[in-house]
Amino acid sequence: MPSNVPLRRLLLLLALVAGSAGADQAPFDRDAALSDGQAAVGRTVGDYRFRDDGRKPVRMHDLLGQPLVVSLIYTSCEHTCPMLTRHLAEVVDVAREALGEDSFRIATIGFDAAADTPARMRLFARERGIDAPGWSFLSTDAATVAALARDLGFVFRAAPQGFDHLAQTTILDGEGKVYRQVYGANFDPPALVEPLKELVFGRRASAATVSGWVSGVRLLCTVYDPASGRYRFDYSLFVGLGVGVLTLGSVAAFIIRAWRQS
């Protein structure tokens, strides 16, 4: 059978062009992406519009009023995004146990606007076993993704295998300002919980009320136990205060007794 030489030459030419284009693409600059992420700290995000996984409209301000954990993913990712989301779910359980079930919210947002539809986001959540109150899986258009990514300092770019990006989780305060960035798909729980603790208990502790005082104590005494991987209440502060009070009381009693005897 005669071979189709022109067709073979065309296919070879296309392969060479594609290979050349891939070779010309510079490696993803992780240091620059990290720098962009850190530069976003203190920046306020816009009031963007999304659709949740039930196609209901959601605006950014609907999610605020308390700390918000933001994770940008793409649903066709086969490794980093699923691993990050599963690990985030584990750390969220730890954080809610320590800080309160309704003390903060989470938003997982698809940044591949063409593919990350509400249905795909719903499937992504279900495959990770996530159906937690206060956790939204959101979709939006490409222009909104680009603007939100700039606000968050989240850098991504298309690549042959999907997208290049850092595993980056962003913590916003209750007013929508970037408070902290957390990097890695398998970060230590305190990397997320400690900034949330500062926002949750620190804000309440500023109130000159009994509940504010209690929150201040919880801010100081809620500590991470590496052995269990959970947070616990550390009573050593009260033990130290008790010892201090007893010591001062003993010294005061000695001084008063000596003064009377003189």
SS3 of the chain: the string is CCCCHHHHHHHHHHHHHHHHHHHHCCCCCHHHHHHHHHHCCCCECCCCEEEECCCCEEEHHHHCCCCEEEEEECCCCCCHHHHHHHHHHHHHHHHHHHHCCCCCEEEEEECCCCCCCHHHHHHHHHHCCCCCCCEEEEECCHHHHHHHHHHHCCCEEEECCEEEECCEEEEECCCCEEEEEEECCCCCHHHHHHHHHHHHHHHHHCCCCHHHHHHHHHHHHEEEECCCCEEEECCHHHHHHHHHHHHHHHHHHHHHHHHHHC
Closest CA to 109 of 90, 91, 88, 93: 88
Specify the pLDDT at position 251.
Answer: 63
Domains, the chain, with CATH or none: 30-186 (3.40.30.10)
The upper half-sphere exposure of residue 65, i.e. CA atoms within 13 Å in the direction of its Cβ, equals 6
Q: Is the dihedral of CA 30, 33, 35, 37 positive or negative?
A: negative
Q: Report the C-alpha gap between 256 and 210 in whole angstroms.
A: 34
Specify the pLDDT at position 32.
Answer: 97
Closest CA to 57 of 170, 175, 141, 147: 141
In percent, how much of the chain has pLDDT > 70?
72
In percent, how much of the chain has pLDDT > 90?
66
Specify the pLDDT at position 22.
Answer: 47
Question: Which has the higher per-residue pLDDT, 7 or 75?
Answer: 75
Render pLDDT for 103-136 as a digit per residue (tens, 0 to 9).
999 999 999 999 999 999 999 999 999 999 999 9
Render pLDDT for 212-261 as a digit per residue (tens, 0 to 9).
434 444 445 566 677 777 766 655 544 444 555 555 655 666 677 767 77
Please, which pLDDT band fits residue 14 given cuts at 50, 70 and 90?
A: very low
Specify the pLDDT at position 204.
Answer: 47
Specify the pLDDT at position 238.
Answer: 43
Is 171:196 a contact under the CB 8 Å cutoff? Answer: yes
Specify the pLDDT at position 219.
Answer: 45
Render pLDDT for 151-194 as a digit per residue (tens, 0 to 9).
999 999 999 989 999 999 999 999 999 999 999 999 999 999 99
Torsion of CA 6, 12, 15, 16, to 10 degrees: -120
Reply yes or no on whether the pLDDT at 21 is more than 80.
Answer: no
Q: Report the C-alpha gap between 51 and 118 in whole angstroms.
A: 7
Q: Report the C-alpha gap between 230 and 98 in whole angstroms.
A: 8
Strand 49-52 versus strand 57-59 pairing type: antiparallel
Residue holding tokens 């989240």? 154
